[in-house]
Amino acid sequence: RMQEDAALLDATMVVGVRFASSMITQGVSEMVAWGTAVGPDQD
């Protein structure tokens, strides 16, 4: 999904991707991922 969202911004890749997870309750976890969408230079 991260690549799809980046493509909507005309980005060609996502860099600096990071992940985090935490346990909410027993048997339930949350995972989060984020990164920076980058595209071609506009010079």
Task: Give the tens place of pLDDT for each residue, 6-39.
Answer: 999 999 999 999 999 999 999 999 999 999 999 9
Per the CB < 8 A criterion, the answer to whether 19 and 30 are in contact is no
pTM, two decimals, is 0.69
Going from N- to C-terminal start, the domains of the chain cover 2-37
Q: 3-class DSSP state for residue 3?
A: helix
Confidence of residue 43 (pLDDT cuts 50, 70, 90): low
Per the CB < 8 A criterion, the answer to whether 21 and 31 are in contact is yes
Looking at residue 3, its pLDDT comes to 92
Per the CB < 8 A criterion, the answer to whether 29 and 22 are in contact is yes
